[in-house]
Structure 1
Amino acid sequence: MLAAMPDSAPSPLSSGGASPRDGGDACPGTLRLHRADDGALARVRVPGGVLSPDRADALLAVAGRFGDGELHLTSRGNVQLRGLDAECGGGPADLLGAAGLLPSAAHERARNIVASPLAGLDGSPSVSGWLSELDGLVCGSAAAATLSGRFLFALDSGRGDTDALGADVTLIAEGGDCLLRVGAADEVFRLPAADGPRAALLAAETFLRAARDSGAWRVKDLPDDVRATLVRTTGAAAGSAVHRPRPRTAKAPAPGLVTAPDNGTTVAAISVGVPLGRLAPAQWRLLTETARRYGNELRLTPWRGIVVPGPFGQTGQSGQTGRTRRSEHAAEALDALAAAGLITGPDSPWTGVGACIGHPGCAKSLSDVRAEAGAAVGPVGRLPVYWSGCERRCGHPHGEWIDVVVTPDGHRISHVRGEHRDPRPAVRDDPAALAAAVAEARS
């Protein structure tokens, strides 16, 4: 049995011995649980967000047997299980391991890989080969086991969506080549696509050596001179340099039907949003059965949504009649998901609304921000909005958004654009005024 460790357990040491980071990485996993106010919390890494229906069933079984029954999506396309019994021991890890969700106990918190959810569906190239190879390389590297749970790889199909997330190492598809970005550097390095996963791992291992004395968890935490040296060192081993600034805004897949690029009528996937990233058992089962019936895969997105790839309809259908019938299947599936309370179109008032877990799940939160976000839901805004119960802003988006933070003086609302923050006066103890202020800021 794989026993779960308390969140106070020390982090693994690198081969270089003791580090300033030793014992400080509190990111939860499946083997190291986090003690929250609503019970223990497990974070299950799902590289690329890709789940088979059978593995989705295993996650639901663990949530129901050991937790509160719900599944919570994270801003990295992973799944959190909350309300776990502190005495559950290695039970969750055993079930998840049997389902293939825990291939390496030593690397389970290092398997942080996000991928473009629409890769291979909307005309952009597939990154599935990169994903499986990189995950295998990470799990096979002794050094990678010492990466913190915060370190992030991103695989971008050329859409610029995951490139905008500020990952530590990013691979970008471009034609038959690959671009490698380290941190947020404007300089990327071109290399053959087949060499991308190994180059990404080598960049991460080079970071670990650079971070040994600084105590940095991520590339952005390195001193400026060390970070610049890391980029140069990685570039020298990778390929020719190309100037390519990182996109400023990460765009989530639009909810609704995703059409293939052939003629704009063939449905390649269904995209749905999940209000506040929280899925009840019935919603999860419906999504799983939809995937099992049509494409046999779920893709969890870094924007707390889910893409279900097709094909939608019976095999052997072809021609205009076949395309029409497949579109009807997709529309029927989308209607069922909408009836279950998921976001299936851009006109949903929940579109772009996010929040941390808030009170009572988190002791640091000053308010029940999920309830407040729900009470303030109104017309769809131009900008997304994220509610945080404290200054930590756990799970906040990237790029441009409206930031609502609870402080002892009230709710502070800011317009965030990259590193720039435009604060507004705090709103105190007036739900109607708060809802109006948020709606105005989003417009």
Structure 2
Amino acid sequence: MSRDRADRCPGVLRPWIADDGALVRLRLIGGTLPTRTLAGLLAISAEHADGDLWLTSRANVQLRGIAHENGCLDPRLVDAVAASGLLPSPAHELVRNVMVSPLSGRSGGRADLRPVARAYDDLLRADDRLAALSARFLVVLDDGRGDLIDRSLDLGAVAVDATHAQVRIGSHHWGEVVAADELAPALVALAHRFLLARGAGESAAWHVDELPDQGSALAQPHHARDLRTHIAALPLPHGMIGQDDGRRAEHLAVPGGRLTPDLAATVLARADEEVVVTPWRSLILPDLPDLPEDAEPACP
């Protein structure tokens, strides 16, 4: 694919101007959103946007309907987002795109890939050169259950056992099987190789699949796909889900991905310390206490 411009994916420091006002996207690593931050975002939206939070298919959150002056946002909104912890590196704001199996480390799956996601984000933000990645460059980590196996991606991995995962390079190539603690550095090294291969200026590739032979050069030496990565998961049902530690998680539908203040109040009343935004534009409320044996289960 031949590009003739840089991507325009929005962020707090680069809003998209729509018919109903400015739109900003807030990146969540693996969809993780502390409940205190969720409450803060609702207050920010009430003051500066349309009052709702909008969930995306990349497990992020958007604010819409924001007042602006010639494309410039109220500095108080930017300051409030920064104070919430969702803007840890302004230079890397747009490139912190990491998806993880939403139940990883809590229910099912072969491995907990949340630490890998955090480690990758730490390395990303510590590296000035990686701020040059496209805002659409995406890392996808499937914990071996197969719920993200069909997602388009630039880099990623699929867990093959509790401590190892096979690297993915674009949609068509596979790398080596590495230990989980080596996975984040391996992905960062591949991101650097992509930057060298993609070209420069506005014609530079956004994605690995746009490179010659869909990024085959990044995958050298070539590796066969591990048989253990041939997995797929059924759609995650809404309602209560048992966690491996005996507690529960609740998968809550968010119609149209629109988290209204009323629905958010229900979420905050039920949730523990964090919620997880899913790639299906829904929410998981994890780490809920188990029900007493004689109690009636809550309605989903």
Give the TM-score of the pair, scaled to structure 1.
0.61
Percent identity between the aligned chains?
Answer: 35
Structure 2 unaligned runs (5+)?
Answer: none
Matched, 1:56 2:38: yes
Contact 2:120 2:185 in 1 (8 A): yes
* Selected match of 1:200 from 173, 176, 187: 187
Partner of 2:6: 24
Provide Cα deviations, 1:239-259, integer angstroms capped at 9, x if missing partner: xx3424876977542111112
- Secondary structure of the 1:271 match is strand
Does residue 284 (structure 1) correspond to residue 264 (structure 2)? The answer is yes
Structure with bigger RCO (C-alpha 8 Å, 6+ apart): 2
Distance 1:72 1:274 in 2: 9
Contact 1:122 1:261 in 2 (8 A): yes
- Cα distance in 2 for partners of 1:47, 1:257 equals 24
Amino acid of the structure 1 residue aligned with 2:139: F
Match of 2:120?
134
Listed one character per residue, the Cα deviations across residues 28-70 of structure 1 (whole Å, up to 9, x for unaligned) are: 0011110001110011111110011111112111111100001
- 1:174 offset after TM fit, Å? 2.0
Instruction: Show the counterpart of 1:363.
Output: none
- The aligned residue for residue 97 of structure 1 is 82
- Residue 275 of structure 2: aligned partner: 298
Contact 1:163–1:170 at 8 Å: present in 2 too? no
Partner of 1:66: 48
Amino acid of the structure 1 residue aligned with 2:252: V
Question: Does structure 2 retain, via aligned residues, the 8 Å contact 1:31–1:90?
Answer: no
Q: 1:80-107: CA deviations, max 9, x gaps?
A: 1000001433222211111111100000
Sort the Cα spacing of 1:22 and 1:64 in 2 relative to 1 into closer, same or farther, 3 A.
farther
* Structure 1 equivalent of residue 67 of structure 2: 85
What CA distance in whole angstroms lies between the structure 1 residues aligned with 2:127 and 2:117?
16
Tell me: CA distance 1:257–1:128, structure 2 relative to 1, closer, same or farther (3 Å): same
Q: Max radius of gyration: which structure? A: 1
The answer for the alignment partner of 1:232 in structure 2 is 220
Kept after mapping to 2: 8 A contact 1:288/1:298:
no
What is the alpha-carbon distance in structure 2 between the residues aligned to residue 207 and residue 230 of structure 1?
7
Q: Is the contact made by 1:28 and 1:42 (CA closer than 8 Å) also made in structure 2?
A: yes
1:12 — aligned with what?
none
Measured after TM superposition, the shift of residue 186 of structure 1 is 4.5
Q: Which whole-Å deviations, capped at 9, do the CAs of 1:192-246 have from their partners, x for residues lacking one?
A: 111001111111111111102562101112221x61111116x6xxxxx342487
Question: 2:93 corresponds to which residue?
Answer: 108
**What amino acid maps onto 2:177 in structure 1?**
R
Give the 3 Å change call, closer, same or farther, for CA 200–280 of structure 1 in structure 2: same
Residue aligning to 1:254:
237
Distance 1:198 1:252, change over 3 A: farther
Aligned length: 291
User: Aligned ranges for residues 105-184 of structure 1 at < 5 Å?
Assistant: 105-124=90-109, 125-175=111-161, 176-184=163-171
- The CA distance in 2 between the partners of 1:167 and 1:100, in whole Å, is 26
Q: How does 1:285-364 map to 2 (within 5 A)?
A: 285-291=265-271, 295-313=272-290, 323-324=292-293, 328=296, 331-332=297-298, 335=299, 344=300
Per-residue CA distance 1:274-323 (angstroms, 9 max, x = gap):
111111111112212321xxx3110000110111112325xxxxxxxx65
Q: Distance in 2 between matches of 1:72 and 1:174?
A: 33
- With over 3 angstroms needed to count, the CA separation of the structure-2 counterparts of 1:310 and 1:30, relative to structure 1, is same
RMSD between aligned residues:
2.3
Q: What secondary structure is seen at the aligned counterpart in 2 of 1:163?
A: coil
Q: Name structure 1 gaps, 5 residues minimum.
A: 1-19, 236-240, 314-321, 336-343, 345-443
